[in-house]
């Protein structure tokens, strides 16, 4: 009964958030719509009569050429989404919540990648029953699968954490969505490495953690500030430390994943290194040791630069921009972020 109440509250809260996102997107679309100026009426100008002349026949070798119409730049590969009904009735609340709020389409970075890259085939995002707590990339089918068991685990974990800290339902919702964003971007990284045959000289699991962080830090949205993104990444890092009990055997160390604590500190390092002046609190609060922090700025820049170099050749022609166009777009978004920010005082 408690679980159903929690899910109901979460669904209502997330629907409200999604409605705001949808309205913001509509506003942006309206603002971006081209304004058509009314046609000006030309003043009457007296024209002297011209004596008609005989038609001149062009030489045979002269052939009329039609004006060239610029072809529309090709769009990228669009994704598909699906919610599969579970066989286990205990997972029906997760299925109903995921489908009702269309959770797979509430992942901002996935939305931005949809159609942005040219891929050999579409990526299919699917929510389904898996029999285990997981999210994974199915290479043979091109599916990125979010298991209802993982969704349920995040709901329960977020509820326990917010209850222990005296947080609100909104805090629980933030925890759920932040971790879904990171997990699905991590699996999207596996798909991109596979489909685009991207090089990876280290462990792929570490590499796609870096890609997920890079994408969250690099994509700029008018709906979220850089601080908002950093906060979401902090919540994703919390998942790693919360699921690492420190009891590691040889099988754990031999696994393709780094242990949770390592993933936690790697993520902290990337966020801090992205803007050391802005995120100094990560170090002063003890979330990142000073010895590691000294190298994080260069480490974060290098990782971001290398990933963007690998991805850039695969950006669809429709979405390619010059450095000047990109700078202008970011400045416009930053102005909107300021306009949308909450006033620092009460009226």
Q: What is the pLDDT of residues 180-220, one digit of tens each?
A: 999 999 999 999 999 999 987 778 999 999 999 999 998 86
Could you give the count of Cα atoms lying within 13 Å of 198 in the half-sphere of its Cβ?
26
Within a domain: residue 271?
yes
Please report whether residue 208 resides in a domain. yes
Please give the DSSP secondary-structure letter assigned to residue 266: H
- Residue 255 has a pLDDT of 64
Q: Is residue 213 within 8 Å of 109, Cβ to Cβ?
A: no
Q: Do 271 and 292 meet the contact criterion of CB atoms below 8 Å apart?
A: no
Q: What total of structural domains would you count in the chain?
A: 1
Do the domain assignments include residue 129? yes
Q: What confidence tens digit (pLDDT) does each residue in 103-156 have?
A: 999 999 999 999 999 999 999 999 999 999 999 999 999 999 999 999 999 999
The answer to whether residue 25 sits within a structural domain is no
- 33 assigned to some structural domain: no
Q: What is the pTM of this model?
A: 0.75
Supply the range of the domain harboring residue 265.
2-10+75-245+255-340
Q: Is residue 47 part of a domain?
A: no
User: Backbone dihedral region of 197: left (phi > 0), alpha (psi from -120 to 50 degrees) or beta?
Assistant: left
Rounded to whole angstroms, how far apart are CA atoms 138 and 135? 10
CA dihedral in degrees (40, 44, 49, 50; nearest 10)? -20
Residue 236 lies in a domain: yes
């Amino acid at each position: 009964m408690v679980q159903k109440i929690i899910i109901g509250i979460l669904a209502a809260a997330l629907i409200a958030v999604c409605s705001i996102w949808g309205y913001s997107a509509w506003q942006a679309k309206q603002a971006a719509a081209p304004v058509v100026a009314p046609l000006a009426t030309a003043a009457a100008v007296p024209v002297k009569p011209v004596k008609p002349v005989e038609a001149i026949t062009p030489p045979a070798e002269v052939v009329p050429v039609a004006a060239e119409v610029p072809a529309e730049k090709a769009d990228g590969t669009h994704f598909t989404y699906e919610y599969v009904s579970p066989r286990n009735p205990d997972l029906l609340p997760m299925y109903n919540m995921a489908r009702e709020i269309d959770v797979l389409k509430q992942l901002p970075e996935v939305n931005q990648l949809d159609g942005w890259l040219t891929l050999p085939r579409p990526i299919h995002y699917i929510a389904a029953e898996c029999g285990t707590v997981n999210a994974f990339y199915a290479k043979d089918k091109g599916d990125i699968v979010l298991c209802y068991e993982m969704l349920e685990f995040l709901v329960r974990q977020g509820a326990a954490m917010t209850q222990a800290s005296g947080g609100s339902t909104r805090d629980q919702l933030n925890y759920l969505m932040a971790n879904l964003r990171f997990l699905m971007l991590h699996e999207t990284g596996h798909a991109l490495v596979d489909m685009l045959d991207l090089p990876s000289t280290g462990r792929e699991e570490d590499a796609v953690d870096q890609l997920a962080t890079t994408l969250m830090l690099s994509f700029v949205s008018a709906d979220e500030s850089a601080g908002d993104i950093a906060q979401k990444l902090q919540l994703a890092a919390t998942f790693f430390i919360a699921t690492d009990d420190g009891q590691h055997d040889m099988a754990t160390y031999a696994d393709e994943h780094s242990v949770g604590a390592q993933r936690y500190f790697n993520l902290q390092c990337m966020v801090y290194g992205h803007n050391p002046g802005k995120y100094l609190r990560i170090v002063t609060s003890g979330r990142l040791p000073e010895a590691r922090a000294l190298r994080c700025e260069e480490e974060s820049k290098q990782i971001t630069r290398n990933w963007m170099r690998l991805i850039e050749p695969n950006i669809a022609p429709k979405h390619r921009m010059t450095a000047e166009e990109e700078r202008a777009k970011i400045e416009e978004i930053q102005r909107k972020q300021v306009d949308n920010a909450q006033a620092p005082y009460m009226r």
